[in-house]
Chains A and B, each alone.
Chain A
Amino acid sequence: MKILVPVKRVVDYNVKVRVKADNSGVDIANVKMSMNPFDEIAVEEAVRLKEAGVATEVIAVSCGVAQCQETLRTAMAIGADRGILVQTDEELQPLAVAKLLKTLVEKEGPQLVILGKQAIDDDANQTGQMLAALLNLPQATFASKVAIADGKATVTREIDGGLETLSMSLPAIVTTDLRLNEPRYATLPNIMKAKKKPLETVTPADLGVDVAPRLKTLKVEEPPKRSAGVKVADVAELVAKLKNEAKVI
């Protein structure tokens, strides 16, 4: 069976972004870009399923600017077999991405799509659920464990009160949470090998999808700054401050 893994190019998680002076967005010029960490977990899970003999092919997909090729090469260095870039310079919102992915799922026929639960730039947490809705497929979001057997997926999910396990027929949509696995580091030979793997480029128009944004960003601002308070000398001073100054205990 095939597994499709969408990957997003985002500002690296170690970078503290700055809001542009004209409040039009955050400044991403000359900032390190990486694969969204949750998507890395998705690629790792798909590759492990292939290594375990459950999957036969792992296809990485990225939607966005030409530089998303680098993100696809990273996915292929982890172990994806090939990549598809849906190239556009337009701003892509989750609904548009879900529509693009839907056309690729219909074309490629994967039994499983594994996505990151959220991208760390827009923090939307939508694309997997939207893809499942558009395809009318079962969804298992926030997965911490995935098992595939007998045409079924059994997925443990991290929910507010603890954990729950769902069973569903394939094809299915899974989104990853942090503790699903620990992605491997790509080795140099695998990075070299990834450069030779097939990478196909299509456009939203080729796929017949209207990607026009539905939400307009009017402005982007700095959050209210929280300034550092005071250092207290000992526990007694801390308790006194909490009681008499902050009045929270």
Chain B
Amino acid sequence: MSILVIAEHDNASIKAGTLNTLAAAQAIGGDIDLLVVGSGCGAAAEAGAKIAGVSKVRVADAAHYADGGAENVAALVVANAGGYTHILAAASTFGKNVMPRVAAQLDVAQISEIVTVVSADTFRRPIYAGNAIATVQSADPVKVITVRTTGFDPVAETGGSGSVEALDAGADTGLTKLVNRELTKSERPELGAAGIIVSGGRGLGNGENYHSLLEPLADKLNAALGASRAAVDAGYVPNDYQVGQTGKIVAPQLYVAIGISGAIQHLAGMKDSKVIVAINKDEEAPIFQVADYGLVADLFDAVPALTAALG
């Protein structure tokens, strides 16, 4: 078996989700190469070579890879796919954008968001918003896979001593041009990798309440902030806060759901959290069916009290 993992990076370092993806690759077993595609991404490649279990980092460094566009990245992956039995990426918006394009160009299926490796050709993946888990087997010569990062514990970021090999860049497809990128700036831990998440829903009433009530609590807990779809749709917070079936899938040590009723689409994104706390004034709210600790209370009293109690 020979596996290519597509790294996600910011040119300087490798993103956390890639470490979980590498763990999935290790579960399949075999030689693991890490592909770093970017512009001025030498530092990320060096960081990649230090990750435990990576035998070789292959780097394609060119200006037209700066934006991580699906068209150019997929073309490069396909051009360098020869010899690999598996090609993996995290099921992030980057991986989801690129990998089906790779699969179609190779004329193979993609296996989306695997949570378990059963064997080299058989994987488990959630369907129907996680209300069922399918075990699927691929007969394709190359398995193109996206990995749900919450399904695999990350490999160690250091301890490896892989080699680094430069790849020839492909031609610029010129199909899309990045006009603008507005990234949410935050000092908090990344939602996908946070140990504790404080998440708010429509019960907060408006964006001002969301920030004034949840931020002090998140500060105390060193938590990331998340939200239900209802809170994002209502404009309390930007889209990248959304936890759920089609938003971010998270599984922190502690998930605190505040003013979230618990629609199945939201539960799909957080029910694998180790400990779930729900604070809601409606004792019939479905969130209580998955919460380890439920507090039926007015969040406008309970949240400041909780923040204060954490000293």
A133 partner residues in chain B, CB cutoff 8 A: 74, 100-105
Contacts A223-B132, A248-B196; A164 near B309 (Cβ below 8 A) = no
Taken together as a complex, chains A and B put the C-alpha atoms of A130 and B297 apart, in Å, by 48
Segment 190-249 of A: residues with Cβ below 8 Å from B = 214-223, 226, 228-232, 234-236, 238-239, 241-242, 246, 248-249
A232 partner residues in chain B, CB cutoff 8 A: 293-295
A75 shortest CB reach to chain B, Å: 21
Taken together as a complex, chains A and B put the C-alpha atoms of A179 and B238 apart, in Å, by 11
B13 partner residues in chain A, CB cutoff 8 A: none
Contacts A124-B112, A133-B101; A230 near B132 (Cβ below 8 A) = no
**Would you call A22 an interface residue if the criterion is a C-beta within 8 Å of the partner chain's C-beta atoms?**
no
- Quick check: B294 and A229 within 8 Å, CB to CB? yes
Contacts A129-B104, A215-B109, A248-B274; A221 near B133 (Cβ below 8 A) = yes
**Would you call A122 an interface residue if the criterion is a C-beta within 8 Å of the partner chain's C-beta atoms?**
yes
A247 shortest CB reach to chain B, Å: 9
Interface of A is mostly: mixed
A13 partner residues in chain B, CB cutoff 8 A: 265
Contacts A16-B264, A124-B110, A248-B196; A138 near B128 (Cβ below 8 A) = no
**Would you call A64 an interface residue if the criterion is a C-beta within 8 Å of the partner chain's C-beta atoms?**
no
Binary A-proximity of B257-290 (CB < 8 A = 1, otherwise 0):
0000000110000010011110000010000111
Contacts A133-B74, A133-B101, A219-B135; A178 near B229 (Cβ below 8 A) = yes
B101 partner residues in chain A, CB cutoff 8 A: 129-130, 132-133, 139
A130 shortest CB reach to chain B, Å: 4
Count of interface residues, chain A, beta-carbon cutoff 8 Å: 78
Taken together as a complex, chains A and B put the C-alpha atoms of A218 and B137 apart, in Å, by 7
Checking B104, B128, B177 against A168 with a beta-carbon cut-off of 8 angstroms, the contacting residue is B177
B110 partner residues in chain A, CB cutoff 8 A: 94-95, 124, 126, 130
- Quick check: B128 and A17 within 8 Å, CB to CB? yes
**Would you call A162 an interface residue if the criterion is a C-beta within 8 Å of the partner chain's C-beta atoms?**
yes
**Would you call B79 an interface residue if the criterion is a C-beta within 8 Å of the partner chain's C-beta atoms?**
no
**Would you call B130 an interface residue if the criterion is a C-beta within 8 Å of the partner chain's C-beta atoms?**
yes
**Would you call A21 an interface residue if the criterion is a C-beta within 8 Å of the partner chain's C-beta atoms?**
no
Taken together as a complex, chains A and B put the C-alpha atoms of A238 and B296 apart, in Å, by 11
A-B pairs, top 4 by smallest CB distance, nearest first, are A229-B292, A129-B100, A214-B109, A130-B104
Interface residues of B (CB under 8 A from A): 69-71, 74, 92-94, 96-105, 107-113, 122, 126-140, 175-184, 192, 196, 221, 229, 232-233, 238-240, 245-246, 248, 253-254, 264-265, 271, 274-277, 283, 288-297, 302, 305-306, 309-310
Interface pairs (30), CB distance under 8 Å:
A17-B128, A26-B131, A123-B127, A126-B100, A129-B101, A130-B103, A130-B104, A139-B97, A158-B239, A160-B240, A160-B248, A163-B238, A163-B239, A167-B177, A214-B138, A214-B140, A215-B136, A218-B136, A220-B133, A221-B132, A228-B291, A231-B288, A232-B294, A235-B302, A235-B306, A235-B309, A238-B295, A248-B196, A248-B274, A248-B275
